[in-house]
Structure 1
Amino acid sequence: MAELGKIGVKIAQLRRSRGLTQEELGKHVSVSAQAVSKWEKGDSLPDLSIIVELADIFDCSTDYLLGRKGGLRSLLPQIREAFVNMTIEDKIGFLGDIITAAEVSILAPPVGAHPSMVHIHLGPAGIGLWAKDRLVCIATTTFLNEAVETLEKEAEFPLTLLPDEIRLVLLALLRDMDDLKPDYAVDEKTLQSLLPNTLNFDHILVKCIELGFVDRVRGGYRLNFKADLAVRLLAILHQTINKQGTMNVTVGKPK
């Protein structure tokens, strides 16, 4: 009876979340309000065919209704099958929903926000970018660390867009993902020790400040937020373009 009660509780919660009365839900599946009441109290179970109908009404899986705890990976076959018939926009929207449901996700955009606005999460868990129906990108700290390590050794496109001396300064000032403090700064002596002796320190720092990459603050120098994010995004592009395992290109409009 305990398991019946759990199924009944889920049906009641989902019904209320849809703003349906017991009578209204009963009409959807051709049963009486009394039958719905018995399900929710745990006195009886809906027939298998009705469970399938309830899953469609509540937009959930039958496993969820029945209390099966198979983990999210058990949903992958269903997701893959659904993806075949989904548009690119629907896929991006779905992934956006996954990002916002995650504990370390970026926040959903405010009501009325323009859909092209990019919402950014930058923190110890990595980078999350989301623009509704347009962009979904997740980069974990593991991937970001690998990307930055690669940048410290070599500079291929798109890093060749930056002069080498500027790239070295930006990398030297890049903070650890688990220490993104607003008052972060690298003192002048430490920063000089991280750069080649051949670099004209004063000249290049002035140039970085004029370009808007670096701020001179109390305690030394730091990348401003935009520069910090830009360096990490360039690192993602660098790693993706130059170190990818596979690359699929579709020419023309998708069918």
Structure 2
Amino acid sequence: MIGNRIKELRKSKKMSQSELGKFIGVSQTTVTAWENGRAEPSSSYVAKLATFFNVSTDYLLGRKTPDNNDIDLDRAIDNAMSFDGKPVTDHDRKIMKQLWKAYMAGKE
């Protein structure tokens, strides 16, 4: 289960296994083993992956499904660019999601 989630999240960010490995501090071979179910990440790497992908550890472990609104919002943010043409940072992504959710909650 966790391997499928890692693969799905990695592909949604259009990253290679090697790129993901560099970001979290493991080899491409390790990422491949996780994605293929031959190995599972330790709890510290589950936490790193959750932080990197901005999801809960419960979601990575298959205990929770994502809110469809979060998926749509993540796709919209992935396609957005900042004012200077650079990709949206993880910090900006978090702020954008919080603002949008607060805005939508106020409309109900």
Q: TM-score range by the shorter chain?
A: 0.5 to 0.7
Q: Quick one: which of 126, 136, 145 aligns to 2:106? A: 136
Is residue 2–residue 35 contact of structure 2 (8 Å, CA) maintained in 1?
A: yes
For the pair 1:59 / 2:54, whether they are aligned, the reply is yes
**Whole-angstrom distance in 2 between the partners of 1:70 and 1:9:** 13
Query: More helix by proportion, 1 or 2?
Result: 2
SS of the equivalent of 1:136 reads helix
Do the aligned residues in 2 keep the contact of 1:8 with 1:40 (CA within 8 Å)?
yes
Note if contact 1:22-1:36 (Cα within 8 Å) is conserved in structure 2: yes
Which residue number corresponds to residue 38 of structure 2? Answer: 43
Q: Could you say which structure has the greater relative contact order, defined with CA pairs below 8 angstroms and 6 or more residues apart? A: 2
2:98 & 2:9 partners in 1: Cα distance? 25
Q: 1:1-255 alignment to 2 at 5 Å?
A: 6-69=1-64, 91-96=98-103, 136-138=106-108
Q: 1:52, 1:25 → 2: CA distance?
A: 14
1:60-88 CA-partner distances (Å, limit 9, x unpaired): 0000000114998xxxxxxxxxxxxxx8x
Q: Residue 107 of structure 2: SS of its match in structure 1? A: strand
CA RMSD of aligned residues (A): 2.9
What are structure 1's unaligned runs of at least 5 residues?
A: 1-5, 73-86, 100-134, 139-255
Provide the residue aligned with 1:223 in structure 2: none
Distance 1:23 1:94, change over 3 A: same
Matched to 2:63, the amino acid is R
- Segments of 4+ moved more than 3 angstroms: 69-72, 89-92
Distance 1:55 1:16 in 2: 15
User: How far does residue 94 in structure 1 lie from its aligned partner after superposition?
Assistant: 2.3
Q: Tell me what 1:202 maps to.
A: none
Distance 2:107 2:45 in 1: 38
1:176-215 CA distance string (max 9 Å, x none): xxxxxxxxxxxxxxxxxxxxxxxxxxxxxxxxxxxxxxxx
Distance of 2:46 and 2:22 partners within structure 1: 14
Q: Aligned with 2:55: secondary structure?
A: coil
Is the 8 Å Cα contact of residues 59 and 66 (structure 2) preserved in structure 1? no
Percent identity at matched positions?
A: 38
User: Contact 1:92 / 1:136 at 8 angstroms: preserved in 2?
Assistant: no
- List gaps (5 residues or longer) in structure 2: 68-94
* Aligned counterparts of 1:21 and 1:60: Cα–Cα separation in 2: 19
Relative to the length of structure 2, the TM-score reads 0.65
1:93 to partner: Cα distance: 1.8
Task: After superposition, give the CA deviation of every residue in 1:26-46 in whole Å (9 maximum; x if it has no partner).
Answer: 011111100000000011101
SS in 1 for 2:38: coil
Give the total of aligned pairs: 82
